[in-house]
């Protein structure tokens, strides 16, 4: 578009998005997900509510875009030198994200049941994060800590899924000892036998 000589259209659009997403997080942090409304977000952002409705549809759409925005970072997985160390750090980060304030991740998960946009945003976010984490397992295979052909996603999900399970589905707080126990368990399983299944976290070795 810049070849036409016109100003890039991203300028105002990007400013509106930034204002709306900042307002979404501020409203979420102050009032919680149950009180989050498109109207309150529009008012706080200084944007007409019709604009917010047209572009984000509903609260699920706002949360989905906030998550997408959070995912557009330069995050790379931990590289501690061991699979056990990497999974432990990964689990700490997953747990921190799930209990973070404002609770963006938790709010998007809660919204996913009624918002296709939120559900799609969650899938895209996890897919991207698991793909970035595939290197954790690849390095473990190179170091001989996991068998060649070990499924990256199987090991990664084995470590992280219990943290989601406790916080999201069981609705129970988790202490750091438990968070690390699941990482240790996955690392030990990878060290003592093949972790097979379908590998969807990256290319099969």
| 33: DSSP letter | G
The reply to whether 205 sits near its own copies by the rule CB under 8 A is no
Binding track over 154-173 against its own copies, x by CB under 8 A: x--xx-xxx-xxx-xxxxx-
Dist. CA 5–CA 200, nearest whole Å: 43
Place of tokens 């972790």: 195
| C-alpha torsion sign, points 95, 127, 205, 151 | positive
**113, 144, 148, 203: which one binds its own copies (CB under 8 A):** 113
Which position has the token pair 């999974």?
87
- Give the Cβ contact number of residue 46 at 10 Å: 10
Q: How far is the CB of 13 from its own copies (least distance, A)?
A: 29
Among residues 11, 101, 198, 203, which is the contact residue for its own copies, using CB under 8 A?
198
Stretch binding its own copies (CB under 8 A), from 23-31, 65-73, 79-87, 113-121: 113-121
Q: 70 or 111: whose CB is closer to its own copies?
A: 111
Q: What is the largest CA-CA distance in the chain?
A: 61
**Binder of its own copies out of 122, 136, 140, 146 (CB under 8 A):** 122
Q: What DSSP element (H or E) covers 143?
A: none
Instruction: Pick the stretch among 17-25, 39-47, 79-87, 105-113 that binds its own copies (CB under 8 A).
Output: 105-113
Cα dist. 157→10, 18, 55, 82 in Å? Answer: 37, 32, 33, 17
Question: What x-and-dash track marks residues 3-42 binding its own copies by CB under 8 A?
Answer: ------------------------------xx--------
Closest to 56 (Cα-Cα) out of 95, 13, 91, 94: 13
Rounded Cα gap, residues 47 and 155, in angstroms: 45
Smallest separation (angstroms) from its own copies to the CB of 120: 8
Task: Tell me 34's DSSP state.
Answer: G
Question: Of 77 and 162, which has the nearer Cβ to its own copies?
Answer: 162
Residue in this structure with the two tokens 């949360």, named with its chain if needed = 63
| Using rule CB under 8 A, residue 144 touches its own copies | no
**Contact residues for its own copies, defined by CB under 8 A:** 33-34, 109-114, 119, 122-123, 126-127, 151, 154, 157-158, 160-162, 164-166, 168-172, 175, 177-178, 181-182, 184-186, 188-189, 191-193, 195-198, 200
């Amino acid at each position: 578009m810049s070849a036409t000589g016109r100003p890039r259209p991203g300028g105002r659009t990007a400013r509106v998005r930034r204002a709306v997403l900042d307002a979404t997080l501020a409203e979420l942090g102050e009032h919680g997900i149950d009180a989050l409304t498109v109207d309150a977000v529009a008012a706080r952002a200084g944007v007409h509510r019709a604009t917010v409705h047209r572009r984000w549809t509903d609260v699920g759409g706002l949360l989905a875009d906030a998550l997408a925005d959070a995912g557009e970072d330069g995050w790379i997985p931990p590289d501690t030198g061991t699979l056990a160390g990497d999974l432990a750090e990964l689990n700490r980060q997953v747990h921190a994200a799930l209990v973070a304030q404002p609770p963006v991740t938790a709010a998007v998960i809660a919204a996913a049941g009624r918002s296709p946009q939120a559900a799609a945003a969650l899938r895209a976010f996890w897919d991207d994060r698991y793909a970035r984490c595939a290197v954790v397992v690849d390095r473990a295979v190179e170091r001989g800590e996991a068998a060649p052909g070990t499924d990256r996603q199987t090991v990664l999900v084995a470590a992280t899924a219990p943290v989601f399970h406790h916080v999201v589905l069981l609705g129970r707080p988790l202490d750091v000892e438990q968070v690390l126990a699941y990482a240790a368990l996955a690392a030990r399983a990878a060290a003592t036998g093949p972790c097979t299944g379908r590998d969807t976290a990256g290319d099969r070795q």
